[in-house]
Every structure is written in C-alpha cells, then in structure tokens.
Amino acid sequence: MKPVTLQTLRDLKQRGERFSCLTCYDASFAAAMERAEVEVILIGDSLGMVVQGHGSTLPVTNQDMAYHTAAVARANKTALIMADLPFMSYATLPDALANAAELVRAGAHLVKLEGGAWLAETVTQLARGGIPACVHMGLTPQSVNVFGGYRVQGRSEQAAEQLLADARAVADAGAALLLLECVPTSLARRVHEEISIPVIGIGAGLDCDGQVLVLHDMLGVHSGKTARFVKNFLQAGDGSIEGAFRQFVAEVKDGRYPAPEHAFE
C-alpha cells in the first residue's frame, strides 16, 4: 500500500470508495494494521479506558497521547496517523497549538478535537500552522458529564440542525475530516451529502466515507459494555488478529459493515 495522505482520502470520497480506521496504541499492533492495509490509524484517548483502566477518557494527558503516538509512528510507514487532543488540552488557542504541535512532533499527521462551531478559529489556526484537524461530533466522550452518559446525539430536529450547522462551520474553517459518533443514520447521511470533506463514522451508519472502531472492541477483548455499533471481527475473520484487521477492512470497503443492526434511527 502506498502511503495514505489526506489527498488519498479525498480521492476515495470522490470515487465513492470507503476507507478503514482503527485505534492503535503501540508498535506491534500498528505493524499488523499496516500489513492489513488499514488506511487510518487513530491514537485515541480511548487508551484511558482500554489501556490505563480508567472509567472514561478524561484522565488522559497530552503526554500520554504523545508517548503512544510515537510508539505507533515508529512501526508505521503507510497509514495516515491521527491523534486525539485529550480533555482540556485545547480549551484555549495557545494550548491547542502547543499540544497539537507536540503530537505532530511525536509522529501524528493530523489531530482530532471534539466539539462544534466554537472550534472554527482553532481549526483555522491549526491549519495555518501546518496541522490538519479532524473534528469529532455527535457523542463526544470528553463531554460525558455534560451529556449525563453515553447517549445517541442528534435525534431531535433541533439537535440535528445544530450538528449540521456545526459541521458546515468547521468545514468552512478548514477542517480536514469530520468524525460522527452515535448519531442517527439519516443525520449522518445528510452530513455526508452536504459536507465536501471526508466523514468517518462510528455508530453513524453506512453512509460515511470511512468507519472507525476501537481496537479492543473489534477484537472482543474489552471488558466493558459492548456498544451497539461494535462487531467482533476476531470471530468473523480467520481467528488471527491480523485476520481480524483484514476482515474489518474488507467489510468496510464492500459495505457489509456497518450493518443495519449496528446503526441508530
């Protein structure tokens, strides 16, 4: 596989072809994902739960993220590496610029932030500094205490229109990607149709350009509650971890995953 860039993802969107994304936190899994031709590797702040054993992503620091990003980057030559800016690391513009720069120096090609239209200036300034951004919308885990739990977002007409407006605002500000988590399929479809940049989904139905899952979830080894959108690809594949990655890539590309039972209406 040739090295994947943002232009690669834009070209895939233009051709109507889907791409795969998995979270990863270390060199060994990164190497296996590269062999399986996973296009995008996300160093997610989900590491707080699946690696560190916390009850949420909130305790994760930027230093944690830089450490794991560097570990993944050392084993990767082809996948596009995206790294999460963790909780409160981008509350101010100077913080966002400094912490994003730390992750890029560690090996990330772009950073991911959770929020809406209020991120527009930050997205623009990051892009001016040479750091592309993916904006994560819908269920944003860093706001779990605001939401009162992990709940599907955008179900009311007002909430859906607000999410669409936010998506337009950050795209206009220069966001490179959008990520939609736990939103109704119909809303994800509208965002995909109205926004020109690639859209990655998780619990957002089939009408997205890419799909992402947490590594431990798709291997069936996470001890927490299994979300509706999760599928065990270790069972669906040949029984090997690399086979699970290849199965995920294949099912995303041919539209078998996510199936209707993995989505919300």
Q: Which residues are catalytic?
A: 181
Distance CA 100, CA 88 (A): 12
Question: Which H or E run includes 73?
Answer: helix 62-74
Residue 188, token pair as written in the block: 């994800």
Nearest 5°: phi and psi at 131? Answer: -120, 105
Residues 42, 57: contact at Cβ < 8 Å?
A: no
**Looking at residue 3, what DSSP letter applies?**
P
Residue 83, token pair as written in the block: 């790294």
Question: Which H or E run includes 16?
Answer: none
Full DSSP string of 149-215: SS-----SHHHHHHHHHHHHHHHHTT-SEEEEES--HHHHHHHHHH--S-EEEESS-S-SSEEEE-H
Residue 17's CB: how many other CB atoms inside 10 A?
12
Question: Which H or E run includes 219?
Answer: none
Strand partners, 61: none
Nearest 5°: phi and psi at 122? Answer: -60, -45
Distance CA 34, CA 39 (A): 8
